[in-house]
Chain A
Amino acid sequence: MEIELEINDVERTVEASKSDSLLDVLRRNGYTGAKRGCDTGACGFCTVHVDGEPVKSCVEPVTKVRDASVRTIEGLGEQDDLHPVQQAFVDNTALQCGFCIPGMIMRSTALLETNPNPTEQEVREALSDNLCRCTGYKKIVEAVLDAAERMNSDTAVAADGGQAVDGDGGAGAGTECSLGGCDCMEGDQ
């Protein structure tokens, strides 16, 4: 069947089967930033926004998001123009392997939209459905609090972006294999 929905402000018509989750459809259509950690709603790695609400897309039947507006991690900032929450994660060394991070960031942006001045406890509670194996959460919580501060003071990113924005548009994005003519994933890790 066909499903019409909006993904990151673009109207899309996607092919789906009845049993597909929103995560299945997103990943099949190239939105692979949402990660599959469990498929049962237990980890939060697949969190995206549906009509502004954070949703675990692996347990969201695609049939429920007809005509909805979906935002994924790809719809936040670009590598050379990060969203303040993304920037705060980078500046606070808040991520290690990064697998939980798209979900964490989508959850955090949703929190800050409804509660622009959360306490540490409120951040922890908001993130408590999103697991992280690497960090112990400390720097993630600090990053969210830092992002709140940045977003509350308008100058945020430009003035306080911390590290230089590198000119190469981020390591490895879309670069070709250094071997030339190679059929693999070279340079794209």
Chain B
Amino acid sequence: MSNDDETPKADGGTASQSETVEDGRSEEHPLEWDEPENNDKAPDERDSVSHRTEKYDDRKLVTGQAKYTADYEERYPDLAYAAVVRSDIPHGHVTDIDTSAAEAMDGVDAVLTPESDAVPDTKYTSAGQSYPEPSPWDMHVLNKHVRYIGDPIAAVAAEDRATATAAVEAIEVSYEEYDYVTDPEDAFDEDAPQLFEGSEVENEIVGHDYDCNRMAHIGGELGDVDAALDGHTHVHETEWETIRQSHANVEKHTSLAYTNEDDRHVLITSTQVPNHTRRQLAHLFDIPIRDIRVTKPRVGGGFGGKQAMVVEPIPLALSLATDRPVLYEASREEEFYAMRSRHPMKVKARTAVTDDGDIEAIDIYALSNTGAYGSHGMTVAGNVGSKPMPLYSKVPNARFEADIVHTNTPQTGAMRGYGAPQGTLALEGHLDEVARDLGLDPIEFRRRHHMEVGDLDEIAGMMGGEGANRRIRSCGLDECIERGKDAIGYDDLEQPDEDHLHRGIGMALSAQGTGVAGDELGAAQIMMNEDGSFHLQVGGVDIGTGADTAFLQIAAEVLGCDEDDIIVKSSDTDVTPFDYGAYASSTTYISGMAVKKAAEDAKARILDWGAKLLDEPVGDLETGDGTVYSETSGDSVTLEDIGYEAAYGDDEREHILGKGTHCTEESPPPFAAQFADVTVDETTGEFEVHKLVVAVDCGVAINPGMAEGQIEGANHMSYEMAVSDGITLDEKGRAEVADFDEYGLPSATETPPIESILVETHEPTGPFGAKSVAEVPTNTVPPALSNAVRDAVGVRIREMPITAEKIKTKLDERET
């Protein structure tokens, strides 16, 4: 086991730390888990968990009553509107900003430039991660040195949107233009135009070498990969390429800032990370954390794009400058060229396989294009290795390395899957190729090597990152494969009658994590009302996933109350307990466990009062159906009686409050088996995807309907990665996509039928056996579809997207 002290936690953890794996790790990571009895309820004992409970916010959403950030507009009559001047050149220095015409316009309240007092000069990263941040501080709110077409230079606040836009257009920016570079392979060179002087960056990341535009280099090795590759085995090498995918959040980045009568600063904002945003704003603006309030209304999708403080500093600076509330709603065009996207990558996979079909070594290398700035650069790249490779825990030698380089292209960031889609394409496509070359069944080949219960995950451990040497305590991979095979009809595929049409099935496996091991915190509080109802206050962030509903189900399961008797309040830094936010598939597992603990804490107090009222020992009592009842006498008292007694009793009174806070070293992987059924026309290369099937082991699904929805939505996003161009750039790095109709988000008619299958296992470390669900099915369609095309017509597409033209070209090449 090699452990390089320089190796960062490459998964969202803290860059400056490394972990050393000691001998005797089996004792540190025992298979046995000290699971409380109440965590493992038989399915028929569950009153709320495992039910298709109505999503908590659905009624207000379907009636149009729910409020997203922009809907607060009408609450603030004095509201000013922000718009941003962005760089029109890929690389250069701003020599002059002529704001005079804009400032002279009627209705313009403020024009801010990098020099303005209200604009912080502090360096920061927009990545909404834990602290210390594992992303370099290489950004400014407004910039003089611009590094991509879209970099913010100046900001305007005006009476209305039209005036703000007109003012932006009236601002003249002069530049000294620099050489630029948009291709990551060209950029990774000492002679390439350089985006940063090393000294400009604070909080640098391990392996940085700004002379060749490298913001980080990471890696880890288990065993001796080179020796295995040199042995008498079959060595295969393949190279894969992924698209620059847009989050295409339906609700654009939107943020409203104002200062209230207590001279405190309030942001109503579309974010996944309220607490991190508060901390980052405090850092930037030099305001005490306590004087900032970040609150999240309904959010129209995040997918990682809002795990970043992308826009918040701008309305805050403008509101400080104007003394008015300011709303900044990015335009759809800005969403595509100036917000965030998935890191496009080139990934090489190499394996050494014996004559018997045993994989001796897996070696993966990724070149990641982080764009102009480095937010999430190192951690996303780390997950290219640390998510997919541990699937093959029986492989004795493994190595992963990545270089993360800057180019003069739009900034990338966190996105659902977080590096795992790129790594999964490479590894699952590669293994399929190897199996077919060696005449092995691709499924059996994987089965011989994949992870199972009891394994110690040393491959994730070699990175020193998430789930370092985690013990696998739940794994439904075999069942995922079996049920997926049945659903796709793997064993009885019928070929079309026409000679030129060929049908094939491809499959791919995937693993993710559940939260960042050792780097998460969630907290919750439950307050009982005298009528026996509850307020659940939780920092966990529902960005449309249904997290509030999962929290409510977990709390109701513990409290034994009706689900309607719980009011959920989440994600407001003034009111709700601390939480790291919605990312890394952590919300149900981490924040949900905090909710469970809070409910148990409240329940203990309720049982105490029940004992008093029933005059029976606490040990005989349980909660259920809105009562506390005695398992011995059968007597009961309602939660309402307890609520009133606790609040208004004669001799003793108490506000029943439960608190829970949760952190853990664990990050159990959820698993997926993906299948794709495709017919390819060998004369044209055109293909039709008949069906996608994805079977997912997410532990216990707290709400099966919501879990299926996550899987279907993730698979849709994954399908987009396989067949769409993503955000394409011109030669200067300018996004060629400005609107939805230029972006390949598959519509209802363009999306193939998706069948999701829940393979429920029990994860003892998660609340009621749950682990994560929403990311793992994002990873799998590109390799499964590439494998299906290979199965159908024998050609291999390694560069996403898969198109008819590429297939046709390969078919033609084969013929000549």
A residues in contact (CB < 8 Å) with B: 19, 27-28, 30-40, 42-43, 45, 72-74, 76-80, 82, 86, 89-102, 105, 123-125, 127-141, 162-164, 166-168, 170-173, 178-179, 183-189
Contact of A164 among B52, B55, B564, B748 (CB under 8 A): B564
Contacts A97-B250, A100-B250, A185-B268 given; indicate if A74 touches B60 (C-beta within 8 A): no
Contacts of B42 in A (CB 8 A): none
Contacts of A33 in B (CB 8 A): 63-65
Partner of A102, one of B64, B268, B331, B544: B64
Cβ contacts A to B, 28 pairs, < 8 Å: A33-B63, A37-B250, A37-B332, A38-B739, A40-B332, A43-B740, A73-B63, A79-B63, A93-B705, A95-B61, A97-B301, A98-B300, A102-B64, A133-B303, A136-B754, A139-B712, A163-B53, A164-B54, A164-B564, A170-B59, A170-B65, A171-B56, A184-B295, A185-B72, A189-B67, A189-B296, A189-B298, A189-B570
Q: Which residue of B lies closest to A86 (CB)?
A: B62
B10 at the interface (CB under 8 A from A): no
Q: Mark B232-252, 1 if CB is under 8 A from A, else 0.
A: 000000000000000111111
Q: How far is the CA of A94 from the CA of B546 in the complex (A)?
A: 11
B144 on the A face (CB < 8 A): no
Supply 15 further A-B pairs (C-beta < 8 A) apart from A132-B250, A136-B716, A139-B705. A35-B251, A37-B332, A42-B739, A43-B250, A73-B63, A76-B63, A90-B59, A97-B544, A98-B544, A133-B247, A134-B250, A135-B713, A137-B748, A139-B709, A170-B63
Q: B709 and A96: CB pair below 8 A?
A: yes
Which residues does chain B contribute within 8 Å of A123, judged by CB atoms?
748
Q: A97-B301, A133-B745, A178-B535 are in contact. Are A86 and B568 (CB under 8 A)?
A: no
CA distance A99 to B59 in the complex (A): 13
**CA separation between A137 and B299, bound complex, in Å?**
19
A125 to B751, CA, bound (A): 11
Residue on B with the closest CB to A38?
B332
- Choice from B251, B260, B301, B703 contacting A183 with Cβ under 8 Å: B260
- Nearest-neighbour CB distance to chain A for B782, whole angstroms, equals 16
Q: Which residue of B has the minimal Cβ distance to A75? A: B64
B60 close to A130 (CB less than 8 A) = no
Q: Is the CB of B748 within 8 A of A124?
A: yes
Q: Which of B705, B713, B741, B747 contacts A134 (CB 8 A)?
A: B713
Chain B 558-574: CB-based contact to A (< 8 A → 1; otherwise 0): 00000010011111101
B575 near A179: Cβ-Cβ < 8 Å: yes
**Cβ contacts under 8 Å, B544 to chain A:** 96-99, 134
Establish whether residues B709 and A134, one from each chain, have CB atoms under 8 Å apart when the complex forms: yes
B70 interface residue (CB < 8 Å to A): yes
User: Are B67 and A32 closer than 8 Å at their CB atoms?
Assistant: yes
Q: Given A32-B67, A101-B61, A163-B54 in contact, is the A131-B745 Cβ separation under 8 Å?
A: yes
- Separation in Å of the A81 CB from the closest CB of chain B? 10
B476 to chain A, nearest CB (A): 22
* A185 / chain B contacts, CB cutoff of 8 Å: 67, 72, 75, 268, 295, 297
Contact of A99 with B68 in the complex, beta carbons under 8 Å: yes
Task: Using A39-B332, A135-B713 as known contacts, say yes or no to A96 and B545 having CB atoms under 8 A apart.
Answer: yes
Docked Cα-Cα span, A31 to B73, in Å, equals 12
Query: How long is the Cα–Cα vector from A91 to B53 in the complex, in angstroms?
Result: 9
Q: B61, A37: Cβ atoms under 8 Å?
A: no
Instruction: Verify A77–B72 contact, CB threshold 8 A.
Output: no
Let me know if B109 is at the binding interface, CB within 8 A: no
> B543 at the A/B interface (Cβ < 8 Å)?
yes
With A38-B332, A76-B63, A89-B58 in contact, is A133–B574 under 8 Å at CB? no
